[in-house]
Chain A
Amino acid sequence: MAELTAAEQVRDGRADFDFFMGSWNIKHHRLAERLKGCDTWEDYAGTAEARKVLGDLGNTDEITMDTPAGCVRGMTVRLFDPHTRLWRLYWASNASGIMDEPLVGRFQNGRGEFYGHEIVGGVAIFSRFIWTPMSDEQCRWEQAFSADGGRTWETNWIMEFTRRGE
């Protein structure tokens, strides 16, 4: 494969998470129960720190969520595959003990969509992340599950990020 120029590399997708590097405050909105028709949402505060790894081909973040039961901590590893131009997003929390199977996807027209397949409560579901950068100071992430093969989606977790001043 011919080497890409630096300008071409920036456009191939590897720069598409650059907006998220740095320190953020988070407003978490979490559905109290998933895939049960619940409409009760819980709000928590949190923080995120994101930085690059592997040169330009990856990044990692650590996220906190302050709940009455304690601080939930999560980490994400995002890896860009220059051959397929797809991102893989891996998640682990202080409750999981392993890295989950990745969600896979890319940005198009300023919106990132990433899909995975997992087992939740004994049910095989599709999972989806949507990333929306809004400005240098604000961005948004949401997670949805589908238990009917992608016909309907239930959003169960939203994070609203505001960049933290130094």
Chain B
Amino acid sequence: MTEQVEAAQDRDGRADFDFFLGVWDSKQRRLTDWLKGCDTWREFTGVSVARKTLDGLGHMDEVILDTPTGRVVGLTVRVFDPQTRLWSIYWVDSRRGVLQAPMVGGFQNGRGEFYDRETFDGVNIFSRFIWTSSGPNTCHWEQAFSADGGRTWETNWTADFTRREDSSAI
């Protein structure tokens, strides 16, 4: 592969999650009840390990969340489609053995937005992830739901990530 081809590939979006490769500690904040006007948040910590797959067209991370109700292990798979230049983000956790329908989207101007339609408590909703990276050692993720077709969004889960310099304990 020529250097020009590699440089063009780096710009097509497949490198846009590279900031997240490695080992991260996170502060997680999760709204207690979703889409009910709740303003009580629970805080807990997480540890994530992210690596590439599919020769750079995929990323996979595993997260351990120590929530107030117990430890949850989660797996995220992100697959990049070079044709559409879109990422599909799939999530599964240790409480159920099914990969959830993907959040789909991409990065523009340093901000990643990913959307899906799903059913929550019998209500048809839109869901949204926002990813922002600020420097090599910190990044932020948040999830929001909309029950009114995207007019208003309730953020229900956020995570602030700090890169772990010493990953020997993993």
Contact = CB atoms under 8 A, between A and B. Distances in A.
A118 B47 CA distance: 36
Nearest to A60: B60
B43 to A, nearest CB: 24
Given A97-B80, A98-B81, A73 B54 contact: yes
Given A92-B79, A93-B54, A97-B81, A77 B73 contact: no
B152 interface: no
A82 B97 contact: yes
A6 B168 CA distance: 29
Interface residues of A, number: 30
Interface in A101-137: 102
A54 B92 CA distance: 9
B79 A99 contact: yes
A77 B93 contact: no
Interface of B: 53-55, 57-58, 60, 62, 73-75, 77, 79-84, 86, 88, 90, 92-94, 96-99, 102
8 contacts: A62-B53, A77-B75, A77-B92, A82-B97, A84-B97, A90-B77, A90-B90, A99-B102
